[in-house]
Amino acid sequence: MASENFVDYVKLWCRSGKGGAGSTHMHRDRVTAKGGPDGGDGGRGGDVILRGNSQVWTLLHLKYRKHISAGHGGAGGANRRHGADGQDEFLDVPIGTVVRDAESQEILTEITGDGQEWIMVKGGRGGLGNDHFKSPTNQTPRYAQPGEDGAELWRVLELKLLADVGLVGFPNAGKSTLLSVVSAAKPEIADYPFTTLRPNLGMVAYRGDRSFVMADIPGIIEGAHEGKGLGLRFLRHIERNAVLLFLVPGDADDIAEAYRILLRELEQYNPELLAKDRVLAISKSDLLDVELREEVTAALGKLGHHYFSAVTGEGVDRLKDLIWQAIEGGSA
């Protein structure tokens, strides 16, 4: 998936259809000059409906489609004919899409299954025809209900990536390099911070015919839980990952402190994230000699960790073992 084609946030103006008007028709035919009311009901207005689609991976198709409108209902007709219902407008979205009210930011729903449907904006009801209003004292009502107006609402769609493993780390920690080595994904890689501006997904082949999905989340900086560095936009992707793989580069000034900062950012964004299984890996281990590794190991104490280098391949297979054990719920 090309990173420039990955869109995880859209704001849409949605309008449902107006209900059709009821008919005021009076029955007339060759033998009936003054028949009673036989006006039919108007059709309902179309709904704007979200539909989960496992074949859709991004909100790109909605990025330039800011205005969504459903069809209006048709008017009722003679002989109690019901007006045509307005055409519903279906929006296919990826699994993991969250819907928010644009004003209050309240979460309204989350699309979690393929084929799941949710009415984002409901269409107006059709008006009743004059046939409904006849009575012994009013046998020829010449009025009917108008159709109910549709609704106009702003909605925000956010995508939370659904992956087995989410890569968590500061910018330039080697996350994209790791993803490119263990999967067929081709994220942009460069020797400067914030190369990755959008999440990338990769399928990682594991022993035999097993595999797992890895998500490269753009780098987190201190203060991300407050929105620094677009942190809130990035952190939400971590919520749907089963395992969190923390990457701290071997050339960091203080690896233990860097790990604590990452944990603190996640905790302040959503404390439930700390309940997820996690693996701590020291990337760029080719930069560490034996002495430096001993110092890092001593600084981390009893904190479990693993050294690897995506450049040389050292420790990569063992890292995949640790990740798989965490996914399966075993001890690393």
- Burial class of 174 by CB neighbour count within 10 A (0 to 12, 13 to 18, 19+): buried
Say if residues 27 and 59 touch (Cβ distance below 8 Å): no
Does residue 56 sit in the same domain as residue 44?
A: yes
Say if residues 250 and 314 touch (Cβ distance below 8 Å): no
pTM for the whole structure: 0.66
Does residue 193 sit in the same domain as residue 231?
A: yes
**pLDDT tens digits for range 227-275:** 444 445 567 777 778 899 999 988 888 888 889 988 888 888 888 888 8
Does residue 284 sit in the same domain as residue 170?
A: yes
**pLDDT tens digits for range 90-130:** 999 988 899 999 999 899 999 988 999 999 999 999 999 99
- The chain-wide mean pLDDT, for the chain, equals 84
Does residue 126 sit in the same domain as residue 168?
A: no
Does residue 134 sit in the same domain as residue 220?
A: no
Does residue 84 sit in the same domain as residue 230?
A: no
How sure is the predictor about 296, in pLDDT bands with cuts at 50, 70 and 90? Answer: confident
Domain total in the chain: 2
How sure is the predictor about 331, in pLDDT bands with cuts at 50, 70 and 90? Answer: very low
Instruction: Please say if the pLDDT value at position 152 is more than 60.
Output: yes
Does residue 117 sit in the same domain as residue 186?
A: no
For the chain, give the percent of residues with pLDDT over 90.
41
CATH of the domain at 184: 3.40.50.300
Range of the domain at 264: 163-327
How sure is the predictor about 6, in pLDDT bands with cuts at 50, 70 and 90? Answer: low
Whole-number Cα distances in Å, 146 to 46, 73, 130: 16, 11, 11
Please check whether residue 232 lies inside any domain of the structure: yes
Does residue 96 sit in the same domain as residue 231?
A: no
State how beta strands 210-216 and 163-169 pair: parallel
Please check whether residue 149 lies inside any domain of the structure: yes
From 129, 159, 189, the end of a domain falls on: 159
Q: If you average pLDDT over residues 20-45, what whole number do you get?
A: 91
Q: If you average pLDDT over residues 26-37, what whole number do you get?
A: 86
Does residue 212 sit in the same domain as residue 276?
A: yes
Please check whether residue 332 lies inside any domain of the structure: no
How sure is the predictor about 79, in pLDDT bands with cuts at 50, 70 and 90? Answer: very high
Does residue 173 sit in the same domain as residue 237?
A: yes
Does residue 137 sit in the same domain as residue 14?
A: yes
Instruction: Please say if the pLDDT value at position 80 is more than 60.
Output: yes
From 159, 183, 207, the end of a domain falls on: 159
Please check whether residue 96 lies inside any domain of the structure: yes
Q: If you average pLDDT over residues 185-208, what whole number do you get?
A: 61
